Amino acid sequence: MILERDKTNTAKKEIEFLFSTEFLVRDYECDMQGVVNNANYQHYLEHARHEFLISRGISFSELHEDGLDLIVTRAEIDYRYPLRSRDRFEIKVGICREGNVRIVFVQDIYRIPDGKLIVNARITGAATRNGRPVFPGNDLLSKLGLV
C-alpha cells in the first residue's frame, strides 16, 4: 500500500498506509445535493486518526494529564468524487514527520467495494504544551513508528 501524492498535494515521497477503518454514509451526513457535505469528510478523517492513535496505544486523556496536547494546524483535502447515502468506504492512514514538531497524517478515502478514490487528505498536527508547539517526545514517536 504505497502512496504517490498527485500534483495538487504536496507530499511527494512514498508513504505506507499503516491503518484502515471502515464507515457507512448515514443519511444525515448528506446535504441538499444528495452527497456527503464537504465538512463531514473532516469528521470522518478525525475519527479515523483517533482510531489509528488508539490502535497505537496513544491516549489523548493520558497525554493531556501529562500536559501534552495534539492539535491540527493545517488540513489539505482534495475532493475527487462524492460519496452518497449508504455508500460504504474505508479511510487509510499513513504518517510522516515534518520538521521537529509536526506530524503529517496522509489519509485517503476509498469507496467500498470498488476502490473508487474519493478523497486525498493531508492533515498536519503538532504537539503542544501550554499552547506552544513542542517536540512530541520519543515515546510518542516510537509508538507511531516514527523513530
User: Where in the sequence numbering do the catalytic residues fall?
Assistant: 31
The CA distance from 145 to 147, in Å, is 6
> Which residue stretch of 37-45, 88-96, 110-118, 132-140 sits at the interface with its own copies (rule: CB under 8 A)?
37-45
Check if the beta carbon of residue 72 is closer than 8 Å to that of residue 123.
yes
Instruction: Report whether 38 contacts 79 (CB < 8 A).
Output: yes
Q: Is the CB of 12 or the CB of 147 nearer to its own copies? A: 12
Choosing from 58, 69, 97, 143, the residue that interacts with its own copies (CB under 8 A) is 69
> Which residues between 85 and 114 bind its own copies (CB under 8 A)?
85-86
- Reading the block at residue 23, the C-alpha cell is 464507515
Q: Which is nearer to its own copies, 50 or 143 (CB)?
A: 50
Binding positions for its own copies, 17-36, rule CB under 8 A: 26-28, 30-34
Cell, residue 104: 503529517
Q: 62-77: buried (b, 16+ CB within 10 Å) or exposed (e) per residue?
A: ebeeeebebeeeebeb
- What are 99's three cell numbers? 520538521
Stretch that binds its own copies, among 12-20, 76-84, 108-116, 135-143 (CB under 8 A): 76-84
> What are the residues binding its own copies (CB under 8 A)?
8, 26-28, 30-34, 37-40, 42-43, 46-47, 50, 54, 69, 71-79, 85-86
